[in-house]
Structure 1
Amino acid sequence: MHGAESRDDPQPAGTHHYDYAVVRVVPRVEREEFVNVGVILSCESSRYLEARIELDEGRVLALAPDLDLDSLRRHLDTLPAICHGGAQAGPIGLLPLRARFHWLTARRSSIIQTSPVHTGKCGDMPAIMEHLLQRMVRTPT
């Protein structure tokens, strides 16, 4: 359902190339430990950009018991707002869709980071978002 694929591969009707990155919380950057907390999914051809965050506070606090969760939540909440776009998301929210994706996935050394960008093909962006959250973010039951 996802994975690296050549952009030259023929596409069945209704299939789109997409890019995604996993959102990570890195409470102590120097230790390089992280918890996956969300996904940013972009599909330029279908004008789709979405970030979904599912913060597992217990997993994050296991790495950093003194972490300010309220501040972390506020910062994570900006990601879906930037994806949605508009003036309420600040200057970045006014950029074109693809520029917002690149800004969100740019390398940084802060507590909120993203994985490298991965690609795939799919016809149903909400379904692939759910698949990625299940596979990359949620704790297996």
Structure 2
Amino acid sequence: MPKSSSKKPNSPVQHLFEYAVIRVVPRVEREEFINVGVILYCSGLKYLNALHRLDVEKLRALCSHTDPDELERYLQALTAICAGKTEGGPIGQLPLASRFRWLTATRSSVVQTSRVHPGFCTDASETLLRLFGQLVL
């Protein structure tokens, strides 16, 4: 008698992914922050990407002296690093895993990330959009 497989035929392959929430912390000493984006890395799909949206009204309510244009440039730099663009500098030229680890390293600056969280997905882009909607919008 043949053994039955526990895996369903034609079921999509689940890939391990990791993500972190991008936060703006206008006054680090107060530890108040605004979620402004998500970075998602999936080794199995060779995927690294970030989405961000800076809510200027929230930012001004939390800390009126913070320059939204400057923050937007920082956030665009993160996206360039994810994409491996030359605008991402030397860090943008590293392998995907190294870029993700650099982007999510603990730092005490105005732009920070949460700790890294794992999950499983079949489509990394779709998962990034879903997390962005849940955690930022």
The corresponding residue for 2:58 is 59
Secondary structure in 1 aligned to 2:99? helix
Question: Displacement of 1:13 after TM fit?
Answer: 4.0
The question of 1:114 aligning with 2:118 is answered no
Between the two proteins, what is the percent identity of the paired residues? 51
Residues 125-134 or 90-99, more deviating: 125-134
For residues 88 and 54 of structure 1, the distance between their equivalents in structure 2, rounded to whole angstroms, comes to 19
* Matched-pair contact (CA < 8 Å) for 2:77–2:87: no
For residues 103 and 49 of structure 1, the distance between their equivalents in structure 2, rounded to whole angstroms, comes to 12
The corresponding residue for 1:7 is none
The corresponding residue for 1:82 is 81
For residues 125 and 95 of structure 2, the distance between their equivalents in structure 1, rounded to whole angstroms, comes to 21
The question of 1:132 aligning with 2:119 is answered no
Per-residue CA distance 1:66-119 (angstroms, 9 max, x = gap): 111111111111011000004331000110000000000000000000000000
For residues 92 and 110 of structure 2, the distance between their equivalents in structure 1, rounded to whole angstroms, comes to 21
Residues 33-42 or 81-90, more deviating: 81-90
Displaced runs of 4 or more, over 3 A: none
Query: Greater Rg, structure 1 or structure 2?
Result: 2
Secondary structure in 2 aligned to 1:46? coil
The corresponding residue for 2:20 is 21
Question: Displacement of 1:125 after TM fit?
Answer: 1.1
For residues 86 and 73 of structure 1, the distance between their equivalents in structure 2, rounded to whole angstroms, comes to 17
The corresponding residue for 1:32 is 31
For residues 50 and 29 of structure 1, the distance between their equivalents in structure 2, rounded to whole angstroms, comes to 26
- The normalised TM-score by structure 1 is 0.87
For residues 107 and 82 of structure 1, the distance between their equivalents in structure 2, rounded to whole angstroms, comes to 17
- The normalised TM-score by structure 2 is 0.89
Structure 1, unpaired ranges of 5+: 1-9
For residues 56 and 96 of structure 1, the distance between their equivalents in structure 2, rounded to whole angstroms, comes to 31
Count of residues in Structure 1 that have an aligned counterpart in Structure 2: 128
The corresponding residue for 2:47 is 48
